[in-house]
Amino acid sequence: MLNSPASFSRRSGSSKKRRAPTDSETGVQDDQDAPPKKATKLAPIFATPADKSAKSEMLPGVFRWLKPLGAKRTCLFGLHLDPLAAVTASTPVRVAAFDLDGTLIVSPFDKSKGKAKGKGGGGALSGSGGFQWWNAVVPKKLEEVKEQGYVIALISNQKVTGKTMDKFKERLPLIARKIPKIPFFAYAATTADEFRKPMPGMWLALEQLLSKRGLSIDKENSFFVGDAAGRAEDFASTDRKLAVNIGLPFYTPERYFLDAGPTEAELPPLTGFRPPTASEQPASEAERVSEPELPITRTEQEIVIFVGPPCVGKSTFYKTRFKEAGYVLINQDTLKSRPKCLKATEEALEKGSSCVVDNTNRDAATRKSYVSLAKKAGVPIRCFVFDAAIELAWHNNLYRAFIEPSTDSRRSATHASDTAELSTKSDRAGASRELVPYIAFTGFQSAYEAPQADEGFAEMRTVRWMFEGDEVERKAWEMWLQISGK
C-alpha cells in the first residue's frame, strides 16, 4: 500500500490544548452577503455569545461562511466545526490540503460523471448545490487524517458567478452534513488574483491565520491532493504547481485515495513559463549592460530614453543608476500623457538638467519626438534597450502586484518559514502597485519596433534582466505564477 501521509502515526507531545481564540481576536466575521441560516450549534472557537447558547439537539455538522478575504474580498472563507480542536500548544501543525472538484467530489462541470453510479453517493450533482463523492473511500480517508491530528483545508478555484456561485456556496454545507464530525477550513478563489491557484494566496491566508495563534506548519509532513497535475488527461497543472510553490508533497486523487497511478516523481514535467534561474542571469553589473567599459551616466547634459515592455526593471534601473546623478525622471505613469512627458522633458532641458524618459517607447515615431527635442536643445540622446521577453515581463507583473515580499529591514531568511515571510497584497502596509493589464504587454509586443542607430542616437546600450533581491525574495519570484491558463 502507498505510504501516504494518512498512514503516519500521530505525533506525541503535550496534551495541553491551546486556548481557543474568539472571533474578535482572529478578525473573522460572518459573511453579511450570505443567505440567512438557521441557528445551529457552533464550535466554541468560532462561536459568538449568542451562538454558544444554541441547543444541543441542533445539527452538529454545521458549516459557516465567514467574511471573504483580500482587499477586494475575492477569496471565500468558511469553516466546519473547530479545525484546530486537536492542535496542541507545542506541536507544529500538519495540514492535509485538498482541492475540491475532481478530488473530493465529482466536478459539477464533468457531465460524463454527473450521474454516474457507484462513485460513492453523497447526492446528485443537479439541484441546489448537490454533490457526489469522487470515490466512496473519500469520507473514510478524511476521517483517518482527522484522527491522526491533521488540520484539513479545502483549497479550490471557483471563478464562477451568479447561480453557479450560489450552488457552490450551498454545496459546502451539504458536504459538511455528510461528514458531520470532520472539521475543515474552506478557501475558494473567485477571480484571477493572488488567491487563484497556483498563486499562493489561499495557503498564505491559512499560514497567517495559524500564525495569529502562535502556530507554525510542519510542511515536510503536510501534503496537498489535487487533480490538476499536468497529466495528459488533466485540464490544468495548477494544483501541482501550487504544491511546488509552497513546498508540500503532492498526490493525485488516484494516488492518495486508491494507491494507483504515478507518484509525484513519476508525473510528467510541468509546463509553462519559468523565470530564468540565477545561473541564467547576468552575474554582475558588468555582464548586464552592453559596452561595460562605457559609463552609465555622463557629466554633460543629455537625454536618456528607455525602451522595453512594462515590468522589466526600467524604473529600478533609473533609481539605482541615474537618480543620484541628478537626472530628472520623465514617466508617463506619473504624468499621464505623452504631450505632458514631452513638455516636462523640454522644461528639464531648459533648466540645464539631464533627464531619463522612463516609458515603453515602443516605436520609432514615439522615439522621434524625443530625438527632435534633443536636436533642438543641442544635446545628445542615448537609448537603453531592456532585453526581456513578454512572458518574463508578465511574470514580474504578477510577482510585484500580488506576492512581493515585505521590504521590512528586519525580515531575514533566518526567521520564519519561507512562505510565512511573504505577505499577500492586502496585508502589506503601503502596497501600491496594481496589476498592469495584459493588453499593455500584448500591445507593446504587437507594435514594437526595435530601435536603430540611424534614428539619431549617440549611443545604444542593451540591458539584460537581472533579479535584484535577497534569497527569500528570489525564491518567491521563482514560483509558478499565473492567474489563467494551465
Write out the residue range of the structural domain in which residue 229 sits.
Answer: 63-107+128-266
Given a contact cutoff of 8 angstroms between Cβ atoms, the answer to whether 325 and 459 are in contact is no
pLDDT of residue 112: 61
pLDDT of res. 218: 96
Q: Which residue has the cell 504587454?
A: 441
Residue 89 has pLDDT above 90, yes or no: no
Nearest to 429 by CA among 404, 455, 393: 404
Establish if 38 belongs to a structural domain: no
pLDDT for the residue numbered 284: 86
Do 300 and 230 share a structural domain? no
pLDDT at 472 over 80: yes
Return the CATH number at 218. 3.40.50.1000
pLDDT single digits (tens) 114-171:
443 333 444 444 444 589 999 999 999 999 999 999 999 999 999 999 999 999 999 9
- The one-letter code for the residue type at 374 is A
pLDDT digits (tens, 9 = 90+) for 334-390: 999 999 999 999 999 999 999 999 999 999 999 999 999 999 999 999 999 999 999
Residues 336 and 471 occupy one common structural domain: yes
Report how far apart, in Å, the C-alpha atoms of 88 and of each of 8, 13, 151 are: 17, 8, 12
The predicted structure's pLDDT at residue 26:
39
Q: Does 310 lie in the same domain as 257?
A: no
Domain-located, residue 255? yes
Number of domains in the chain: 2
32 lies in a domain? no
According to the model, what pLDDT value does residue 36 have?
A: 43
By mean pLDDT, which of 203-217, 268-282, 374-388, 410-424 is the weakest? 410-424
Domain annotation covers residue 403: no
DSSP letter (8 states) at residue 297: S
Give the pLDDT of residue 432. 53
Instruction: Give me the CATH number covering residue 468.
Output: 3.40.50.300
% residues pLDDT > 90 (the chain): 71
Report the percentage of the chain scoring pLDDT > 70.
78
Q: What is d(CA 360, CA 275) in angstroms, rounded to the nearest whole number?
A: 21
Q: Is the pLDDT of residue 17 over 80?
A: no
Comparing 431 with 56, the larger pLDDT belongs to 431
**Are 252 and 229 spatial neighbours (Cβ–Cβ below 8 Å)?**
yes
- Are 349 and 253 in the same domain? no
| Cα–Cα distance measured from residue 106 to residue 115, given in angstroms and rounded to the nearest whole number | 10
Closest CA to 227 of 253, 263, 190: 253
Residues 156 and 248 in one domain: yes
Looking at the structure, tell me whether residues 237 and 306 fall in a common domain.
no
Among 323, 249, 327, 320, CA closest to 289: 320
Residue 458 has what pLDDT? 97
DSSP letter for 427, please: G
Q: Taking the C-alpha atoms of 213, 216, 221 and 225 in order, what is their torsion angle to the nearest 10 degrees? A: 70
- Average pLDDT of the chain to the nearest whole number: 83
Same domain for 77 and 202, yes or no, is: yes
Under a CB-based contact definition with an 8 Å cutoff, are residues 209 and 413 in contact? no
